[in-house]
């Protein structure tokens, strides 16, 4: 029985750090285990220019614990007014790694997102020219489309047409939740990939709804049927470079989660590696964990893997604080619903 596993230090290819007191509280949780993270730009107001991305990067760096080598990889929030020249210059200067496309209204702080996708085609063409990846929240927001179908419909109505019009654009389908997403993500190796979250590998919609609404399992895209969860597990543990880790760790204060209109987001930065080791071990795929967490993301983004390593140890039950304190408030950590046995040494 394997009780120790050494991996290239992992990266998180989809992370929310927020700002202010929340930023200062949650950044050390990611920096503890991860070497790099793609940081989402959906602040209020959003990060839409290279100068804003540089300023946000400085605030993140100030929150990184002393002695940590953690590196935030910044993104720009695409709007219908995004300046292609500013975007290209920020990329050339090493300020931003990717740009994020949010359909307007699809998720937290996405009101400034794109409504007319034709209007962003010139920016996407420029991104293709300079090799800058587009990260995409893949859901339509049409009121007549059921929330459980919005990912599959987005692929057909929006993503596939965009990729046909801009075939050289590198696209990361973020936080896929369906078999449809997993199948589409492997259709163009090297140009198309997908991130999979910790929580979508573990929970389905029953966890959210059966026995009462569980607000700390509510996220967008929402968890789907068990058949889709199993498809995600199969994809993540397959050893295919089309899939890599993006936790979508998205902290909200408990008071904002536990109310009549609770925020969407699961905070999982603290215990992700313990959770993933459990999932991969259950599939007999611990040998595939390094690729998913540490190798395939850098490969897609054209970066080197991290130079250092972490070691996971299985030596009995692992306890994590259920809540993270942020000023006078708290953020609840993702509860996988089973005992965790693996920990980062």
For 234-265, the DSSP string reads: HHHTTT-TTEEE---B----HHHHSSTTPPP-
Which pLDDT value is given to residue 112? 73
Whether the Cβ atoms of residue 241 and residue 292 lie closer than 8 Å to each other: no
> How do residues 52-77 score in pLDDT, each as one tens digit?
999 999 999 999 999 999 999 999 99
Q: Give residue 44's domain range.
A: 4-344
In the residue annotation, 248 being an active-site residue is answered as yes
C-alpha neighbours within 13 Å on the C-beta side of residue 197: 31
Q: Catalytic residue among 180, 248, 254, 335, which? A: 248
pLDDT tens digits for 231-250? 999 999 999 999 999 999 99
* The pLDDT value given to residue 103: 87
Q: What is the 3-state secondary structure (H, E, C) of 263-319?
A: CCCEECCCCHHHHHHHHHHHCCCHHHHHHHHHHHHHHHHCCCCCCCEEEEEECCCCC
Give me the percent of the chain exceeding a pLDDT of 90.
94
pLDDT-derived band at 110 (thresholds 50, 70, 90) equals: low
pLDDT at 153 > cutoff 90:
yes
Total domains in the fold of the chain: 1
Specify the pLDDT at position 313. 98
- Does residue 107 surpass a pLDDT of 80? no
* Dihedral sign for Cα atoms in the order 273, 278, 283, 287: positive
Could you read off the pLDDT of 291-338 as tens digits, one per residue? 999 999 999 999 999 999 999 999 999 999 999 999 999 999 999 999
Comparing C-alpha atoms, which of 77, 56, 221 is closest to residue 153? 221
Q: What is the CATH number of the domain that holds 295?
A: 3.20.20.140
State mean pLDDT over 265-286.
Answer: 98
| Interval 120-128 mean pLDDT | 96
- Rounded to the nearest 5 percent, the helix, strand and coil shares of the chain are 35, 20, 45
Determine the average pLDDT of the residues in 163-183. 98
Q: Parallel, antiparallel, or unpaired: how do β-strands 4-8 and 309-314 relate?
A: antiparallel
pLDDT band at 108 (very low <50, low <70, confident <90, very high): low
pTM for this one?
A: 0.97
Burial of 30 (C-beta count, 10 Å sphere; 0-12/13-18/19+): buried
């Amino acid at each position: 029985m394997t009780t120790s596993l050494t991996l290239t230090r992992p990266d998180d290819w989809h992370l929310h750090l927020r700002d202010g007191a929340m930023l200062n509280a949650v950044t050390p949780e990611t920096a503890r285990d991860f070497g790099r993270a793609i940081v989402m730009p959906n602040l209020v107001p959003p990060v839409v220019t290279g100068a804003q991305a540089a300023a946000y990067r400085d605030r993140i760096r100030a929150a990184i614990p002393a002695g940590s080598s953690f590196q935030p990889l910044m993104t720009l929030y695409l709007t219908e007014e995004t300046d292609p020249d500013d975007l290209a210059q920020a990329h050339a200067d090493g300020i931003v790694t990717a740009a994020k496309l949010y359909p307007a209204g699809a998720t937290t702080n996405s009101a400034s997102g794109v409504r007319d996708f034709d209007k962003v085609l010139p920016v996407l063409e420029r991104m293709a020219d300079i090799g800058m990846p587009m990260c995409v929240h893949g859901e339509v927001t049409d009121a007549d489309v059921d929330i459980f179908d919005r990912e599959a419909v987005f692929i057909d109505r929006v993503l596939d047409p965009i990729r046909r019009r801009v075939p050289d654009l590198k696209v990361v389908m973020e936080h896929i939740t369906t078999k449809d997403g997993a199948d589409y993500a492997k259709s163009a190796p090297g140009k198309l990939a997908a991130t999979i979250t910790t929580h979508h590998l573990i929970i389905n919609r029953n966890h959210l709804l059966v026995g009462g609404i569980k607000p700390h399992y509510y996220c967008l895209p929402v968890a789907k049927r068990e058949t889709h969860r199993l498809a995600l597990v199969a994809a993540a543990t397959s050893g295919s470079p089309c899939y890599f880790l993006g936790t979508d760790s998205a902290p909200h204060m408990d008071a904002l989660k536990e109310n009549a209109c609770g925020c969407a987001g699961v905070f999982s930065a603290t215990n992700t590696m313990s959770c993933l080791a459990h999932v991969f071990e259950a599939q007999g795929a611990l040998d595939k964990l390094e690729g998913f967490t540490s190798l395939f993301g850098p490969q897609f983004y054209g970066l080197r893997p991290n130079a250092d390593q972490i070691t996971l140890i299985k030596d009995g039950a692992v306890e994590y604080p259920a809540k993270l304190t942020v000023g006078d408030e708290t953020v609840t950590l993702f509860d996988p619903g089973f005992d965790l046995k693996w920990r980062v040494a």
